[in-house]
Amino acid sequence: MQTTAPRSSAANDEIPFEQRWRVADLNDRYVRCLDDNALEEWPRFFTEDGVYKIVPRENFDAGLPGALLLFDSNAMRRDRVLCVREVNIYRIHVARHYLGGTAIARLPDGGFAVRANFLVVHSDGEGRSSLFAAGEYRDHIVCEGAELRFREKVVILDSFTVPGQLAEPL
Amino acid sequence: MNGTEPLAAAYTWPTADPACVPFAVYTDPAIFAAEQERIFCGPVWHYLGLEAEIPKPGDFVSTYVGTLPVVLNRTEDGRVAAFVNRCAHRGAIVTRPTRGNCATHVCIYHQWTYDHDGNLAGVPYRHGLGGVGGFPADFDPRAHGLRKLRVAVHCGIVFGTLAEAGPSLAEFLGKPVLDRLARLFSRPVAVLGYQRQHVRGNWKLMVENVKDAYHGGLLHAFNSKFGFFRSTQKGEVTVAGGGVHSILTTFGTTGEQDTGSALQNVQTYRPALTLEDSSMLRHIEEFDDGIATSIVSVFPSFLLLHASNFPVFRHVRPKATGEFEMVWTYIGYADDSEEMRDLRLRQANLVGPAGYISIEDAEAVELVQRAIEGERSDALGIVALGGRGTDSQGHLVTEAAIRGFWQGYRKLMGFPVAA
């Protein structure tokens, strides 16, 4: 688990405005991709061997390693997209992510440690909306050429009793 | 109700055999209330947790028996003990955290204090304050402890019962279940983590799902498309415990490409897909008994799934007629190598609320519940695959384990049965 995550938003002050904007923009584009159901684009937000995991808050707090999902290659992420599209069956819904409380700190490798809160609202086939997930992203973002990418994205799920099932990435 | 008198004639089971299931058992609040008395407080042993979760004196985990909140404890002298988590004074929840360690359990409301066995150890102002107030002289703390469960342990799995009389744990589980659980617990286990989900369905629909050898290769397309499990695989269904428990077993290697003519029109048997990264499907041999998959269902709501290198327990917690929570406990062994632990954590992608081979179960359960709410009181479903009896069968093309559940359930519940 990342230990370099910034503890408060005060860390933002040390980062030039343009860099801060680029980092925040990465998460904005990330949730835009998910909410537009452009899942085929989702793996491209990560480095090839980047880690994506969804960790229930109770495991995180207890120091237990178990995750809801653990992918450490873009091949695994493409497999997930294939299954969401072609294989698995789950509640019919539309998803909306809401981000806030972004805190950014610079890391020795030139990358950034980022925390951001998220809410995800699902609306079902009969137009009823409900809170699907609440939690926090803990990201390790690196520069690959001109692009920022996630070397690690840990989704800490405060709402760790999942309503129904969790198919698409958060 | 004491669990022996029959329910009202209105609840007469429509058929002598248990191959028909009245939908009312999933939707009627009176039946839900009767289950709490006759099953969850009845002569039944309930899964409470693992000894590995409470290794040190003072360790505790919170759980439920039916809808009753229960705390499982490790006592100062190293025993396991459990009590109903409801203060003997005003009925408040005493212990609020899900897990932790404490010297005593203290109710926040008036600071009534209990030891790990649930005995009342302290009552503020019991003898009054400055010569006034206090409880009556005949107030006996020994009569005001928390409600205790009898506990028993099999291979590190802790069970509890609220019934004062009834079968022993070994009698209740029976040899097939005892043996299959012992197979898993051949070495000390370690908890890797938990997953939880909330499902808008009756708890019994989930238990039936686990006893259902029919749906595995049909609902869960991942199994058939990637060759993980299918109904044509060699397997057997063992109905145990007088019907109420079951063990579904598959043998040998997975992935045999035998779709058979009977399956050519079934949607989930389209040409196979391939995974780009199959690291989670790697298998490291741990047992030499030829068993590929074990799915054990212990009545009423404790379930074990053990496939490849991932053993996981599921505990179904009823909340209302159309609502339950399910807690998944992932385990490995305390002496796992780093390689083995990494594999188990990868294989956790396969199961749970986000898992490739289990994600559909909650949706299927919810579709049933949505459709049967408000049905006519005489509407029923049918579970007659493989006959109408409850004998064990040497194949997986059967709903025998589900029929065994209903046979045991209606007896315990006191449902009159039609001639």
pLDDT tens, position by position, A81-106: 999 999 999 999 999 999 999 999 99
pLDDT value of residue A7 = 61
CATH 2.102.10.10 assigned to B46-153: yes
- How many angstroms separate the CA of residue A143 from the nearest CA in chain B? 25
Amino acid at B239: V
Name the band, by pLDDT with cuts 50, 70 and 90, for residue A166: very high
What is the 3-class SS of A111-157, one letter each residue? CEEEEEEEEEEEEECCCCEEEEEEEEEEEEEEEECCEEEEEEEEEEE
Name, in order, each residue with C-beta under 8 angstroms of A132's C-beta and a sequence gap of 6 or more: A93, A95, A120, A121, A122, A159, A163
CB of A75 within 8 Å of any CB in chain B? yes
A29-86 confidence digits (pLDDT tens): 999 999 999 999 999 999 999 999 999 999 999 999 999 999 999 999 999 999 999 9
Q: How far apart (Å, rounded) are the C-alpha atoms in residues B169 and A50?
A: 48
The three-point CA angle B188-B190-B191 to 5° equals: 145
Instruction: Identify all chain B residues contacting A88, using CB atoms and an 8 Å cutoff.
Output: 221-222, 356, 359-360
CB of B159 within 8 Å of any CB in chain A? no
Residues of B (348-367) whose Cβ lies below 8 Å from A: 348-349, 352-354, 356, 359-360, 362-363, 366
The answer on pLDDT for A10 being more than 60 is no
Burial class (CB in 10 A: 0-12, 13-18, 19+), A69: buried
Interchain proximity A65–B221, CB inside 8 Å? no
A82 CB-side CA count, 13 A: 16
Q: How far apart (Å, rounded) are the C-alpha atoms in residues B217 and B269?
A: 9
Interchain proximity B194–A64, CB inside 8 Å? yes
Q: Which of B98, B346, B363 sits opposite A91 (nearest CB)?
A: B363
> Across the A/B interface, how many CB contacts are shorter than 8 Å?
114
pLDDT value of residue A59 = 98
Instruction: Identify all chain B residues contacting A81, using CB atoms and an 8 Å cutoff.
Output: none
Mutate to test the interface with B, among A53, A72, A89 (most CBs of B within 10 A): A89
pLDDT value of residue B308 = 87
The answer on pLDDT for A8 being more than 70 is no
B162-187 confidence digits (pLDDT tens): 999 999 999 999 999 999 999 999 89
CB of A3 within 8 Å of any CB in chain B? no
The answer on pLDDT for A12 being more than 80 is no
Interchain proximity B194–A161, CB inside 8 Å? no
CB of A124 within 8 Å of any CB in chain B? no
The dihedral through the CA atoms of B165, B171, B174, B178 has a sign that is positive
Q: What is the pLDDT along chain B (419 residues), one digit of tens a residue?
A: 444 577 887 889 999 999 999 999 999 999 999 999 999 999 999 999 999 999 999 999 999 999 999 999 999 999 999 999 999 999 999 999 999 999 999 999 999 999 999 999 999 999 999 999 999 999 999 999 999 999 999 999 999 999 999 999 999 999 999 999 999 998 999 999 999 999 999 999 999 999 998 898 889 888 888 766 555 678 999 999 989 999 999 987 544 434 344 444 555 555 578 899 989 988 888 988 989 899 999 999 999 999 889 999 999 999 999 999 999 999 999 999 999 999 999 999 999 999 999 999 999 999 999 999 988 888 999 999 999 999 999 998 999 999 999 999 999 999 999 98
- How many angstroms separate the CA of residue A51 from the nearest CA in chain B? 12
What are the φ/ψ torsions at residue B23 (nearest 5 degrees)? -65, -20
Domain boundaries, chain B: 46-153, 176-413
Q: Which of B197, B219, B277 sits opposite A165 (nearest CB)?
A: B197
- How many angstroms separate the CA of residue A40 from the nearest CA in chain B? 14
Highest mean pLDDT pick, A108-112, A148-152, B12-16:
A148-152
CB of B414 within 8 Å of any CB in chain A? no
Residues of A (81-100) whose Cβ lies below 8 Å from B: 82-83, 86-91
Tokens of B386: 């493989």
Closest-approach residue (CA) in chain B for A166: B354
Interchain proximity B348–A66, CB inside 8 Å? yes
The number of beta carbons lying within 10 Å of the beta carbon of residue B271 is: 6
Interchain proximity A163–B197, CB inside 8 Å? yes
Mutate to test the interface with A, among B276, B310, B361 (most CBs of A within 10 A): B276
Q: Which of B99, B222, B362 sits opposite A165 (nearest CB)?
A: B362
Mutate to test the interface with A, among B205, B277, B347 (most CBs of A within 10 A): B277
Which residue in B99, B115, B23 sits closest to B63, CA to CA?
B99
- Percentage of residues in chain B having pLDDT higher than 70: 93
pLDDT value of residue B409 = 97
CB of B199 within 8 Å of any CB in chain A? yes
Q: Which of A78, A87, A166 sits opposite B354 (nearest CB)?
A: A166
The number of beta carbons lying within 10 Å of the beta carbon of residue B146 is: 25
CB of B229 within 8 Å of any CB in chain A? no
Interchain proximity B356–A167, CB inside 8 Å? no
Q: How far apart (Å, rounded) are the C-alpha atoms in residues A83 and B357?
A: 10
- How many angstroms separate the CA of residue A116 from the nearest CA in chain B? 22
pLDDT value of residue B198 = 98
Interchain proximity A69–B349, CB inside 8 Å? yes
CB of B99 within 8 Å of any CB in chain A? yes
Burial class (CB in 10 A: 0-12, 13-18, 19+), B340: middle
DSSP run (H or E) holding B27: helix B24-27
CB of B221 within 8 Å of any CB in chain A? yes
Mean residue pLDDT of chain A comes to 93
Interchain proximity A164–B200, CB inside 8 Å? yes
CATH 3.90.380.10 assigned to B176-413: yes
Q: How far apart (Å, rounded) are the C-alpha atoms in residues B418 and B398?
A: 24
Which residue in A127, A130, A118 sits closest to A155, CA to CA?
A118
- How many angstroms separate the CA of residue B347 from the nearest CA in chain A? 9
DSSP run (H or E) holding B74: strand B68-74
What domains are there in chain A, each with its CATH number? 16-157 (3.10.450.50)
Instruction: Identify all chain B residues contacting A154, using CB atoms and an 8 Å cutoff.
Output: none
pLDDT value of residue B269 = 55
Q: How far apart (Å, rounded) are the C-alpha atoms in residues B339 and B144?
A: 51
The answer on pLDDT for A2 being more than 50 is no
Q: How far apart (Å, rounded) are the C-alpha atoms in residues B294 and B306?
A: 5
pTM metric for this prediction: 0.93
Q: How far apart (Å, rounded) are the C-alpha atoms in residues B181 and B194?
A: 19
pLDDT value of residue B261 = 43
Token pair 């009545």 is found at B299
